[in-house]
A and B are shown apart, each in its own frame.
Chain A
Amino acid sequence: MAEYRGPDAVPIRLEINGEIRVLHAEPRRTLLDALRFDLGLTGAKKVCDRGDCGACTVLLDGHAVYACLALAVACEGKKIETIEGGSPEVRSLEAAFLADDAYQCGYCTPGQIMALAGLLRREPRPNEEHVRAAVAGNLCRCGAYPNIVKAGVAAGGNGARRR
């Protein structure tokens, strides 16, 4: 944790998708708002802003976290990955989501994919149960769950890759 700073805007240095980005924001700025409003990274979505829905999921040092529950200042010195980073896991998930039609409006999709990217880091060959557990905290109001489960398995090594 950084030393006490604020209450006005302070410089915050973040490592995002392998790049160093510096922004000025109040210490109360969440990582999610910093991404969306200060850094132009709008893949992570603000749906509940209180850790209920998973739409803002990003990876922090390789673990899936809700960006709305992290303060930007507290993320200094950590590796932040967003969907825009296009890591190999993200790429294979995007392809599987397209192939399995694992989205409708697409608003929750970046969060679903980042939650599953976190899963693939620790479990490269997930089964259906792994996938269900990984996205259990990611709401999809369109109800794409059956296809999300298929795509999650297909993106790892266990999927019967149909296409």
Chain B
Amino acid sequence: MAGRTRVVKTRSEFEGRVSEELALVQGRDLRAWPADAELREVGRERPRVDGVQRVSGRARYNSDLVLPGMLHARVLRSPHPHARVTRIETKRAQSLPGVRAIVHRFNEADHFAEEVRFVGDHVAAVAAESEAVADDALRLIDVEYDVLPFVVDLEDAMKDRSRAKRDDAQSRGDVRKGFKDADAVVDVTYRTSTALHNCLEPHGCVAAWDGDRLTLYESTQALFDVRSGVAEKLKLDVGDVRVLCDFMGGGFGSKLGDGHYTVLAAVLARRTGRPVRLFLDRHEENLAAGNRSATVQRIRAGGTKDGRITALEHLAWSGTGTEDGWVAGATGPSSTVYDVPNVRTEQYLVLTDTGPFCAFRAPGYVEGTFALESAIDELAERLGVDPLAMRKKCYARRDPQGDRPFSLKRLDQCYARGAELIGWSKRKVGGTPARTSHLRRGLGMATQFWGSAGGPPAYATVHLNVDGTAVVRSGTQDIGSGTRTALAQIAAEELGLELGKIRVASGDTDAPYTPASGGSWTTPSTGPAVRLAAADARRQLFEVAAGLMEVRPTEIRFSNGHLVAGRGGRKITVRDVLERFKNYTVIGTGARHPNPSDLRLGSFGAQFADVEVDTRTGFVRVVKIVAVHQVGRVVNPRNARSQVEGGVLQGLGFALLEGRVLDLPSGHVLNANLEDYHLPTVKDAPDIVVEFIPDPDARSNNLGGIGLGEPPIIPTAGAIANAIANACGARVRTLPITPPRLLEALRR
């Protein structure tokens, strides 16, 4: 990339947290393609470039990997929610044939704590010739614990002042005055359950040492964060740690860095001199792999009869588990989504002796949007106003919290299109009758905002081979969202090559740095860097071709896979240019440029739900979800629709099915398996209609589009809860809305 390297300031938002950072960029950015640009690849439906491997079982996930001489590791976990480990006796385990190493706090003090802090916390790990032998060995390890006091329930912990601390507070206007101006005020408390990611590929890795260099084959959404985390914990240079992840079986936020399993596998591999595989089993996945923590949220909302919201107060308590670090705030939507003059929000973190919180697809916003959107419907009902009309009355033309313009906001179009597709005009207060007398149908909707839009640093190179094929090299991982396909389409667009000529070599920390695949960051961070790298490679190619064709580089353009000089001039292929130079490789480089600092970036959407409620059983059938989202230009509409459908289904699970169940006296998870923890199945899947607002978000980045990973899960639960309330008049304020909870609400 021509041009000096410069330091620039950039403002980014990741999982609801805004940060100002310095980034290095080179040269000038490209302008986003105009709305009417005729693009050959970007915006087209293409099968995934790695699809054949994924559907044929040939894709190699790191959990499939078997290395020569590899040992298998298993972890001994605490049966107590809080205890001090006073003694560990491994003699019997050590003598079991096939056991090669055992680590615990008395021989690897850096990697085990003296105190275990939740049921499932790691106490020891064994490497053996097979998983079965390692499991046998765990049963032969004797541990003595000093059991300590604990609290596992969020609401019990909230009563203890030492466990709750205020994390964030926002306010504008004067809420007391706002409530005084209101014709009606609702004051309601919502609760959401702890949701477990249950990505199907478990957390884990294979660790292999080559002298002092460590290679980790990890199932991760964040190769570079695994690298830095492990380097820090094992006191290595980052250059001595390489993390690889070619195919990855789901993460949803729970694989955004190294885990105890990463470090333990590396330690066991170092002790034994052999590669070590350590992947969690399903039970462990449900104890020690993160969660969307439970929340308690109190919302007061006041409004006037003409449908305006005059004041909004949102207090939220979220369990952090034992990681006394961060929790994704649930109050974000209340301060950012609507134009309400008087707002006050407070977010509290609450320490519980349970497995640690971690990001889970739009953390905080999923929980907060459910509460906010439910409260708005409750207020609208009290005021006798149509809930969609009320949301339109409070339409925020500028960012209401930061008072900046949005780079793009087409929420009004999302409302209009969604209302049309679901048949909102037929919605009746009190719902409508269905096939039989005990069935009721209802409609509900909810709004989505998500401020994540990617950002620097992210880098890529594009290599043109002599035969006219190209390799995109970028560290990033494809977690199932179609990253590789999107990057290939972007490169093909800019290089004028067919998609089949592009190979994306990613999933490797020895390639250029890219951010984690979280916060809907991947495409809008790495995509623009790939586009710049491809443009740089093309410029160099045109310079070489210009000499051969005896024209100026600016006279060359791409047409149907050929380089064409001038009007009706000579046509040659990329291969014709490069084949003359044996193994000459054109290398283009690109770096993501900063976000505009004077604009609020983000995506908007609206989802509408049509549900059928059985008033005898409390069973809810979601008949249809309409999802209309605005993310600017969509690189691959087919993959994007799939991602929205997936987000909706996870949202449906959160609304109706999912919740960790704890035994309060012991702190044990009672449903730590896929039989008792209910993921949505094919039978729960409603008809899902997906549309995108086609306008590019031209000022966001050079693609004119931002990320879509998280937006579709945000409004689903609110839309479903509102549809249920419309159908049968029963408002359930606790998720998941199970049949017993709905029956209880119906009886009230």
Residue of B47, B53, B64, B247 with highest tally of chain A CB at under 10 A: B64
- A107 interface neighbour in B48, B249, B252, B642, Cβ under 8 Å: B249
- A105 interface neighbour in B60, B201, B647, Cβ under 8 Å: B201
Q: List the A side residues contacting B281 at CB < 8 Å.
A: 49
Min CB distance A96 to B, Å, is 9
Determine if B650 and A143 form an interchain contact, defined as CB atoms under 8 angstroms apart. Answer: yes
Determine if A37 and B685 form an interchain contact, defined as CB atoms under 8 angstroms apart. Answer: no
**Which A17-46 residues have a C-beta within 8 angstroms of B?**
26, 28-29, 33, 36-37, 40, 42-46
* Contacts A99-B47, A106-B55, A106-B249; A53 near B688 (Cβ below 8 A): no
**Which A41-87 residues have a C-beta within 8 angstroms of B?**
42-50, 52-53, 55, 82-84, 86
Min CB distance A127 to B, Å, is 14
Interface size of A by CB at 8 A reads: 55
Residue in B closest to A132 when the chains form the complex, CB atoms: B682
Question: Is B56 an interface residue, CB under 8 A from the partner?
Answer: yes
Determine if A82 and B683 form an interchain contact, defined as CB atoms under 8 angstroms apart. Answer: no
* Contacts A45-B200, A146-B685, A149-B682; A106 near B643 (Cβ below 8 A): no
- B248 interface neighbour in A26, A36, A105, A109, Cβ under 8 Å: A105
Return the CB mask of A144-161 against B: 1 if under 8 Å, else 0. Answer: 111111000000000000
Residue in B closest to A41 when the chains form the complex, CB atoms: B57
Determine if B639 and A107 form an interchain contact, defined as CB atoms under 8 angstroms apart. Answer: no
Residue in A closest to B642 when the chains form the complex, CB atoms: A101
Q: List the A side residues contacting B641 at CB < 8 Å.
A: 101
Min CB distance A154 to B, Å, is 13
Determine if B682 and A138 form an interchain contact, defined as CB atoms under 8 angstroms apart. Answer: yes
Q: List the B side residues contacting A109 at CB < 8 Å.
A: 54-55, 57
Q: List the A side residues contacting B132 at CB < 8 Å.
A: 26, 28-29
Min CB distance B671 to A, Å, is 11
Return the CB mask of B58-78 against A: 1 if under 8 Å, else 0. Answer: 111101101000000000000
Q: List the B side residues contacting A26 at CB < 8 Å.
A: 132
Residue in B closest to A29 when the chains form the complex, CB atoms: B132
Q: List the B side residues contacting A138 at CB < 8 Å.
A: 682
* Contacts A49-B281, A97-B55, A104-B480; A143 near B649 (Cβ below 8 A): yes
Q: List the A side residues contacting B64 at CB < 8 Å.
A: 36, 42, 45
Residue in B closest to A135 when the chains form the complex, CB atoms: B682
- A139 interface neighbour in B54, B130, B679, Cβ under 8 Å: B679
- A110 interface neighbour in B57, B130, B248, Cβ under 8 Å: B57
Q: How far is the CA of A48 from the CA of B64 in the complex (A)?
A: 15
Question: Is A10 an interface residue, CB under 8 A from the partner?
Answer: no
Determine if A50 and B66 form an interchain contact, defined as CB atoms under 8 angstroms apart. Answer: no
Residue in A closest to B636 when the chains form the complex, CB atoms: A101
Q: List the B side residues contacting A43 at CB < 8 Å.
A: 56-58
Question: Is B469 an interface residue, CB under 8 A from the partner?
Answer: no
Min CB distance B503 to A, Å, is 18
**Which B549-577 residues have a C-beta within 8 angstroms of A?**
none
Determine if A107 and B51 form an interchain contact, defined as CB atoms under 8 angstroms apart. Answer: no
* Contacts A106-B54, A106-B247, A144-B642; A45 near B682 (Cβ below 8 A): no
Question: Is B675 an interface residue, CB under 8 A from the partner?
Answer: yes
Min CB distance B523 to A, Å, is 14
Q: How far is the CA of A102 from the CA of B63 in the complex (A)?
A: 22
Min CB distance B216 to A, Å, is 19
Q: How far is the CA of A144 from the CA of B482 in the complex (A)?
A: 13
Determine if B682 and A148 form an interchain contact, defined as CB atoms under 8 angstroms apart. Answer: yes
* Contacts A28-B132, A106-B247, A109-B55; A48 near B282 (Cβ below 8 A): yes
Residue in A closest to B687 when the chains form the complex, CB atoms: A146
Determine if B200 and A113 form an interchain contact, defined as CB atoms under 8 angstroms apart. Answer: no
Determine if B682 and A105 form an interchain contact, defined as CB atoms under 8 angstroms apart. Answer: no
Determine if A143 and B57 form an interchain contact, defined as CB atoms under 8 angstroms apart. Answer: no
- B56 interface neighbour in A45, A94, A108, A137, Cβ under 8 Å: A94
Q: How far is the CA of A33 from the CA of B64 in the complex (A)?
A: 11
Q: List the B side residues contacting A108 at CB < 8 Å.
A: 200
Q: List the B side residues contacting A104 at CB < 8 Å.
A: 250, 480-482, 642-643, 646
Question: Is A122 an interface residue, CB under 8 A from the partner?
Answer: no
Determine if B57 and A105 form an interchain contact, defined as CB atoms under 8 angstroms apart. Answer: no
Min CB distance B687 to A, Å, is 8
Determine if B200 and A143 form an interchain contact, defined as CB atoms under 8 angstroms apart. Answer: no
Q: How far is the CA of A91 from the CA of B149 in the complex (A)?
A: 57
- B249 interface neighbour in A28, A49, A99, A105, Cβ under 8 Å: A105
Question: Is B96 an interface residue, CB under 8 A from the partner?
Answer: no
Q: How far is the CA of A106 from the CA of B683 in the complex (A)?
A: 20
Q: List the A side residues contacting B130 at CB < 8 Å.
A: 37
Min CB distance B248 to A, Å, is 6
Min CB distance A98 to B, Å, is 5
* Contacts A103-B54, A104-B643, A141-B252; A146 near B66 (Cβ below 8 A): no
Question: Is B680 an interface residue, CB under 8 A from the partner?
Answer: yes
13 contacts between A and B (CB under 8 A): A37-B66, A37-B130, A45-B61, A49-B281, A52-B674, A101-B641, A103-B51, A104-B480, A104-B482, A106-B54, A138-B682, A141-B650, A142-B646
- Chain A interfacial positions (CB closer than 8 Å to B): 26, 28-29, 33, 36-37, 40, 42-50, 52-53, 55, 82-84, 86, 93-94, 97-99, 101-110, 113, 132, 135-149
- Chain B interfacial positions (CB closer than 8 Å to A): 47-48, 51-61, 63-64, 66, 130-132, 197-202, 247-250, 252, 281-282, 479-482, 638-639, 641-643, 645-650, 673-675, 679-683, 685, 687-688
User: Other than the known A29-B132, A48-B282, A101-B51, what 12 A-B pairs have Cβ atoms closer than 8 Å?
Assistant: A33-B131, A48-B674, A49-B281, A102-B55, A105-B201, A105-B248, A136-B682, A136-B683, A141-B200, A142-B480, A146-B687, A147-B645
